[in-house]
Amino acid sequence: MSVTDTRLATLPTPCLLLDEAKMTRNINRLAQHAASLGVALRPHLKSAKSVEVARRVLKDGNGPATVSTLAEAEVFAQAGITDIIYAVGIAADKLPRVLDLHRAGCNLTVLLDSAVQAQAVAAASRGAGIKIPAMIEIDSDGHRGGLTSDDPELLNIGRILHENGAALRGVLTHAGESYFAVGAGAQAIFAEAERAAVVNAATALRAAGLPCPVVSTGSTPTAHAAKDLTGVTELRAGVYMFFDLVMAGIKACTVDDIALSVLTTVIGHQEKRGWVLVDAGWMAMSRDRGTANQAVDQGYGVVCDAAGNVLPGLIVVQANQEHGVIACRPGSGAILPELSVGTKLRILPNHACATAAQHQSYHVLPQDKGAPLLAWPRFSGW
CATH of 3-16+259-377 among 3.40.50.720, 2.60.60.20, 3.30.70.2610, 2.40.37.20 = 2.40.37.20
Q: Does 3-16+259-377 match 38-245 in CATH topology?
A: no
In this prediction, residue 5 carries a pLDDT of 57
Q: Judging by beta carbons within 10 Å of its beta carbon (0-12, 13-18, 19+), is residue 126 exposed, middle or buried? A: middle
For residue 271, pLDDT beyond 70: yes
| 49 touches 379 (CB < 8 A) | yes
In the chain, domain spans: 3-16+259-377, 38-245
What stretch of H or E contains 276?
Answer: strand 275-278
pLDDT digits (tens, 9 = 90+) for 339-349: 999 999 999 99
- Read off the pTM: 0.95
- pLDDT band of residue 143 (cuts 50, 70, 90) is confident
pLDDT digits (tens, 9 = 90+) for 153-191: 999 999 999 999 999 999 999 998 999 999 999 999 999
In this prediction, residue 7 carries a pLDDT of 82
pLDDT digits (tens, 9 = 90+) for 223-269: 999 999 999 999 999 999 999 999 999 999 999 999 999 999 999 99
pLDDT digits (tens, 9 = 90+) for 6-41: 788 889 999 999 999 999 999 999 999 999 999 999
In this prediction, residue 4 carries a pLDDT of 45
| 72 touches 46 (CB < 8 A) | yes
Residue 137 pairs with which residues in a beta bridge?
Answer: 172
Give the class (CATH, top level) of 38-245: alpha beta
pLDDT digits (tens, 9 = 90+) for 299-323: 999 999 999 999 999 999 999 999 9
Output phi, psi for 84, to 5 deg: -135, 140
